[in-house]
Amino acid sequence: MSAPSESSKIRIVAAVHGCREWPHDPGPEAELAAELRDRYDYNEIVATFHRFSRSSEWLDSLMRRVCLRAVAQRCGAGVQVGLNVSLQHPETLEIGNGVFIGDQAIVQGRHDGRCVIGDRVWIGPQSFLDARDLVLEDYVGLGPGARILGSEHTGVPVTAPIVATDLAIAPVRVCRGADIGTGAVLLPGITVGAGAIVGAGAVVTHDVPAYAKAAGVPARVIGWRDGHDLSRP
């Protein structure tokens, strides 16, 4: 009997996050968030968020979401916030329904910035999001350890330490249904088109077309999800 092929070892199982209905948050949750806003100032609510950041128990998970709902511009239903998540300037966040933010993820906003996270977005553990001017459209997936960079120092003048030079902020857009692989990096100003796939460990320095597959350092288009030949326009 011949040995099983590598392909025969692959198992296909049903998707979970992108298909299930998000739970409707309990009615009192919105009231509790409103009560927090009335009783505590912004810094106290953020401190409360971090106080409940170290346990996966139901109450701790609930309180993380309540605190986020109290400070964010928008927080949809069924949002899940993992352990030890770091949110800087959460007041600039617009979060849709059914969003998952994995353990130890960092979302680094700016006081005058904007970050939109659409419905059913999945942000993997230990991801880093420079959220100063960032839009993740619905059904976007970020693998564990993915990095989105939305700013860089100008390096001008050359006589100054780079860290002391002005910061250039450029918008990053990841369009509906795109998937960013584990450890991939998106540089400032990048747009990843709808349904595109960015491979694990890729460094994306140019826009990725819709439904393309991109990989490498720097990333380049290596194929198309619908099977089109690369020579076709």
Is the pLDDT score of 229 beyond 70? no
Is the pLDDT score of 1 beyond 60? no
Residue 175: which pLDDT band, with cuts at 50, 70 and 90? very high
Closest by CA to 193, choosing from 216, 215, 168, 172, is 172
Per-residue pLDDT of 110-164, as tens digits, reads: 999 999 999 999 999 999 999 999 999 999 999 999 999 999 999 999 999 999 9
Give the residue-averaged pLDDT of 40-45.
96
Task: Classify 40 in phi/psi space as left (phi over 0), alpha (psi -120 to 50) or beta.
Answer: beta
pLDDT for 233 equals 47
Q: Which CATH number fits domain 78-221: 2.160.10.10, 1.10.10.10, 3.80.10.10, 1.10.3720.10?
A: 2.160.10.10
pTM of the predicted structure, to 2 decimals = 0.90
In the chain, the percentage of residues whose pLDDT exceeds 70 is 93
